[in-house]
Structure formats: C-alpha cells, structure tokens
Structure 1
C-alpha cells in the first residue's frame, strides 16, 4: 500500500448540508495518508494534520473513529519529525484482513491478506468447473472459504470483506457473470452472500485477468505505469493498466486479448467467434497441438508433461508453443498499436512456458509491431499462482481506504 505521492488536502469543514460528506472525505483522506505511508513508518496524528491541512483536533477525532472500527491500531512512539514529546504512531491493523477468491475452469482458490497486503493464508484446489452449474461451484468455494477464514482467525486475522474473480465478463453491481464461455455461464447471477455471510464489506465480483493485473500493479516493479497483463489459463484473458490505473473501457470489458482474432480461417472459439487467440494459445489448445492428452489428467499433470516434453526438445511440443507465441505476438501487436502500450506481463501458463515461448513471441512482435514492444519489456508476472485472488483482495482494501465510513455503524 506504500505510496508517497501527496494527496490534496480537503477542507476541514463545509456548509451544514454537506457536513456528512466532508466528514467522509476527511476519513478517507486520513486513512489514505496512513495506508500510503512507506513500509515501516508510522505517522502520528500531528504528522497527519501537518500533511493534510486538517486541524489536530479534527485528525484526533477522525483517528478515534478509525480506531473504533478496528482498521487502525496505535503502535509505539514516533519521535521522527516532531518537536517535544513524541507522538503515538498509527498503522493499518494487521489483525484485520480481506479474502480473495477465484473460480477458474479447473480450480477454485481462496486466500486472506491483511490490510497491508501481506498473505496470511492461501489455498488452491483443483476442481473441474467446466459446464457445471454455478450453485455447486459456489458451494465448493464456500466450503473452502470457511476453511481459509478459520485458518486466518487462527492466526489472529479477522476477515472484513472479500472479492471473487471469475474468467469472464462481469457486472459487479448486480453480481452477474455476463459471459464466461469456458465455464459455460451466460448471464448467471451469483449469490455472493452465501460464500461468507455477514461480512461487513460483503463480496465484490471481478474479472479474473483484471484482478491479476491489479495484483501485478501493486506487487510488481516500482515505476511501471503502463502495461498489458496477459493471463494464460484454459482461456486467455487480458488486463490493461494505463497510468497506474486499470482501464476497462466504457462498459468495463476492455482488455479481452484472448478473443483478438489471430487466424480468420482458424477454429471456432468458445466465445462464438472464429480464430481467436484462445484457440491457439489457451492451455487446451497447446496441450492438443503438443499431443498431450489432457483428458483424465489434472491441469498440473498436463503442464508438467508439456514442460518435460519441451525440455526433451520434442518437436510436437516445441511447434505447439512456438505457434502459441507467434499468435500471442499478433494479438499483442494489435493491442499495442491501438493503445500505445509498450510493455507486456506474462501470467499463468505463459509465465511457465516463457523460456520456450519468448523467441517466437519477440519475433512476432518485431514483425507486426516493430519498435512498439521491445524484448526487455516482456516480463514474467511478479505474482505466480493466485494473482487474481490477490488482486481481488487488494481492490477490496483499496475501496476500504477510499471509503472507511463503510465500517461505521
């Protein structure tokens, strides 16, 4: 959560009709100052007042409210930068956290982070969700969420809310999966309350690739502000980060790089289109082209078999991955041309296969978008497995920082 960029000071008071709005704005301002403080530093009330322009009395009142919600705690004395008696430092309470969850084609996952983003507990379970109704999938995820929540409580962390990532187009406001072709879900409204009933912040729905892109933004190299995150699973997803913000377009569905057409004469895609990147570079497509029968094997077993075949220089495996890399380059080149993006982050199986994928990907980018994406700007995701659930959890924390009044009764 560390970020030293200054935030504008808000007025200490307003017209009587706006006092509630001013109070909420000031709560968020103080909360943001504490959340953005560099790791290891603990701002005092006086330091917050000096940096925000609020009065010390207002800051003290706001901090008291935040302490009562349990999302802040006092820690030691901070003598830095103050005259006279040192003040008491403040930090996000490590005994409060959020849960990230993910439903994908062949697994479910859940994990808890504290409010600073540190992972407390994380579990990934293989499960074949393809073609399954949403109810049994949610039931399985709810059971896993209870286990993970219990484990977090055992480590002293109480869960305040959560985020759920799914591989498809979503409407977060109505908790509806608009289209998740690889799951076979179309306009499926999810009963998110059944996952973890009674959480004060509830559960928010996210697109899987967007959530993973947010995790990369938060946990990846500092100073990287613009990139395309490419998520490689059974399907292929994409998340666009522009000027350190997730770009989702007017309806929230931008970044669907998996459904960029790379071969107009190609195979039919699960989305209903033809020749999409997913039909060449998705896991099932690569396994089939490499001659690795996925049926009867788990995702990990199939991927292990593919990596072993590549390590042995088996021609079929090498051709399958080379073709996937070339097609990925075509899709990324088109995206880079339209959005002026110069960096690509590889996640999921693209990260696993990077050693063999990179040459054809780089060659394809040089051919179709020369000078747009250089090889040194093609990197592997900082977060390996669990990026989507960590991104979903991190988004819930951000929403809490921006609106801490949600925890007030």
Structure 2
C-alpha cells in the first residue's frame, strides 16, 4: 500500500476550471485507489469506479492513460458475484524508483517497486567528511548506476529517485543548507547527474525525515504519532503527528540531535554547546568507550563496541549508559513539546538497545514521569535502509499525487 486516496472525485463536466486540471485530479484519485489496495488484491475498473464515485466510462479512460504510461498493469480475473469475471489492476512491478543516501561514513542506493518492495540495494562504506561534496556525488553516481543496471537486468525501469542527506536541505533548490558532520554549508547538488535521463528526476530529502516516513509506513503497531530518533555519527530526528511528517514552517523541525542536554558540555559540530549529539552520537560513544577508530570501518567499530559490552568492559558500559541517560533528557523534552504517543529508535540506538534501554527508560521516567511505558519505546521497523526507503517512498507518493508528470 502506498498511500490512502482521500480526495473526492471531480466530475469531468459541469465544473468550473480547466478540464485538464479535473482529469489530472481524477488520474491521481484512480491511481491512489489502486495503490492502496492490500497485497494480493487487484481491484477492477468497476470497483475503482464505485470507490471513487466516478463513472465507469471515466475510470476506463483514466485507466487506459495509466496503462499507457506504464504505471499500471492488468492482472488475472476478478470474480464479481454471479456475473462475468473482470480484469484486475495493480501497480506495474516493472516500474520503480531509486532511494539514495549520503551519510558521514557510507553511501547507499536501492531500487524499490512502486509498491515499496526493495528489489536491490548496495551500500559502500567511505569517509565523506573530506574532499568536499563533488567526489561524494561522483561515488554515489557510480553506485546508483550499478544498482540501476541490476534493476534493468531484471526488466525493471527506474522512473526517478530521492536522495537523503544528514542535514538541513532546501529541496526546491537542490541545496544542502548545512550538514555539519559532512562539513557542507550552502552546497548545491547536481542531482541530475545521479540518475541521468529519468522522467521524474531526483528529489532531495533530510535523512531523518525520510527515515521517519519509512517508519510510518512499515510500523507493525500502526503508530500515527511518534518521535523517530536515529543514531549515526550524528543524531537525527523526525516528528510524525497524525500520520503526517511534521517539519515546521521552514521544514527543519525535528532536530533532536541538537537539543541541548548538557549546557556545560563540549562544542558541537553545529556550533552549539552540549547538544545530544556530543554525548550520544556514534563518535562520542566510541570515544568514551575507548574504542579508537583507527583503520576500522563504521560497522567494525560498532561490532567492537558490542563485543566490549558483551564482555562487560566498564568504559563501554559507562559510555552507553551515559548516552542513554542524555537521550532520555532530549526525548523527554521533545515529547512534552510535541505530545507524541511513542518513541522509535534507529541506527546505533537500536543496535545498542540491550544496554541502552534501561538508562533511557530511567531517564524518561525521571524527566517525564508517567509519560512513556516501556512498550511505547520501540525499535526501527526498517533498520539502516530507512532513509533510502523513505526517500523512494516519497517519490512514489509524489507520482501518485501527480501521475501526469509522466508523458502518455
């Protein structure tokens, strides 16, 4: 299921305004109804007409456009009562979008079909903090080409993509305003170079917001109000309220990693002092645990930390306990302001949950007593692929909202 189609059908005659606008609205409505069908359910034209309150003739015409655009395909036969079986409709599995992510110490690219199923994914560990953005984009373009070719070998066409970056972004200008942990400020990205010759282009997203959207779609508990917090080298956050991502008027709400938790603490990459990131970010925890990066990769460093925790090494236990306590301070404050119903942990917070959970829950109870039961603090449903899946899913939602962006 991609998204609910909540719009009301607009008759294609007798309505003021452009007939083209009306048809575009109804194209979105029809595509949305088919996209929201559960897996294995293939609605017929008649069923779509009944659900949207459009005429059968209008739906047949709209479906024809969507078939010609390659967004739908006909499948099987649906038995409707005692009458003649009808042809079912589904999102075309041969059409897809690509999600991409740049983080501090890795890049990633993956292709999902229009229903959100991850078809192929590649991750490459690399240090993105030196050399500026140009070599990072070049490396990601190479990785994206590899993943796109793999999808193509399976007969799947990539229509467009989304890129998630750990920083404040201006999507309309394809600009990263600031990504402190990457060392980027007011960087304009050549997004077209990542996926040349795709009809939908490439859209830009904040990494934590994209991951929060992926959580919203995939969470088994169906939570509609939560704070998502992801631990990487930095700490990202996304706010979901009423099943919608809340980003604030400037689009930059949810910066949980830069909530001040220790006013007398150390300087943060953002320029502030005592941010959550300075005590609960990946680098901060590893340093406090006495685990030097050296020649280790990101995953090797986390594995070394987990091994130290299993062995009961005091420095490692103390570092994670401190991180959990301060994470609780930040989330207690955020939850009081936003009045959300649950908390979702991703990144290294999820990996470290066996040791992080007790100090986190103690801290939440101390600073927000009675606010969260243990079962209201959950782990990510999508893991490290969250930002990638969220970016790809957002592109699909944009396509469902405006299928006319593809030429018929």
- TM normalised by structure 1 equals 0.98
Matched with 2:215 is 216
Give the SS at the match of 1:121.
Answer: strand
Alignment of 1:122-141 (within 5 A): 122-141=121-140
Deviations 1:377-408 (A, max 9, x none): 11110111211001100111111111111112
- 8 A contact 2:227–2:344 mirrored in 1: yes
- What residue is the counterpart of 2:277 in the other structure? 278
C-alpha distance after superposition, 1:83-126 (max 9, x if no partner): 52111100000000000000000000000000011111001100
Rounded to whole Å, the distance in 1 between the matches of 2:4 and 2:279 is 43
Deviation at 1:359, TM superposition (A): 0.3
- The equivalent residue for 2:297 is 298
The number of residue pairs the alignment matches comes to: 408
Structure 2 residue runs of 5 or longer lacking an equivalent are: none
Structure 1 counterpart of 2:54: 54
Distance across 1 between alignment mates of 2:119 and 2:58: 34
How far apart are residue 5 of structure 1 and its match?
A: 7.4
Name the structure 2 match of 1:198.
Answer: 197
Q: Distance in 2 between matches of 1:333 and 1:160?
A: 41
1:251 corresponds to? 250
Distance in 1, matches of 2:394 and 2:306, equals 33
* Residue of structure 2 in register with 1:186 after alignment: 185
- Please say if residues 260 and 275 of structure 2, whose CA atoms lie closer than 8 Å, have aligned partners that are also in contact: yes
Q: Spell out, residue by residue over 1:172-219, the C-alpha distance to the aligned partner (whole angstroms, 9 max, x if none).
A: 000000000000000001000001111100000000000001111111
Q: Distance in 1 between matches of 2:367 and 2:225?
A: 20
Question: How far apart, CA to CA, are the structure 2 residues paired with 1:30 and 1:79?
Answer: 21
Question: Does the 8 A contact of 1:160 with 1:200 survive in 2?
Answer: yes
Aligned: 1:8 with 2:8: yes
Q: Name the counterpart of 2:66.
A: 66
Measured after TM superposition, the shift of residue 375 of structure 1 is: 1.2
CA contact (8 A) 2:97 2:114 kept: yes
How far off is 1:20 after superposition? Answer: 1.0
- What is the alpha-carbon root mean square deviation over aligned residues? 1.3
Determine if contact 1:2/1:39 at 8 Å carries over to the other structure.
no
Give 1:35's aligned residue.
35
Alignment of 1:233-272 (within 5 A): 233-272=232-271
1:2–1:177 CA distance, 2 compared to 1 (3 A) = closer
Could you tell me which residue of structure 2 aligns to residue 162 of structure 1? Answer: 161
Q: What are the superposed Cα offsets for residues 298-325 of structure 1, whole Å, 9 maximum, x if unpaired?
A: 1011101000000001000000000000
Structure 1 residue 76 displacement after superposition:
1.1
CA distance in structure 2 between the aligned counterparts of 1:103 and 1:343, rounded to whole angstroms = 27
| Matched position secondary structure for 1:141 | helix
Deviation of the 1:372 alpha carbon: 1.6
Aligned equivalents of 1:367, 1:356: Cα separation in 2: 18
Output the CA distance in 2 between the equivalents of 1:42 and 1:143: 37
CA contact (8 A) 1:3 1:37 kept: no
C-alpha offsets along residues 61-91 of structure 1, whole Å, 9 cap, x if unaligned? 00000000001000011113x5521111000
Q: Distance in 1 between matches of 2:23 and 2:2?
A: 24
Distance 1:15 1:336 in 2: 45
Distance of 1:4 and 1:342 partners within structure 2: 22
Partners of 2:377 and 2:112 in 1: how far apart? 28
- Alignment partner of 2:18: what SS? helix
Q: Structure 1 residues 269-278 or 4-13, which shifts more?
A: 4-13
Name the CA distance, whole Å, in 2 between partners of 1:158 and 1:3. 22
Q: Which runs of 5+ in 1 are unaligned?
A: none
Mapping 1:140-151, distance limit 5 Å: 140-151=139-150
Contact 1:132 1:183 (8 Å CA) reproduced: no
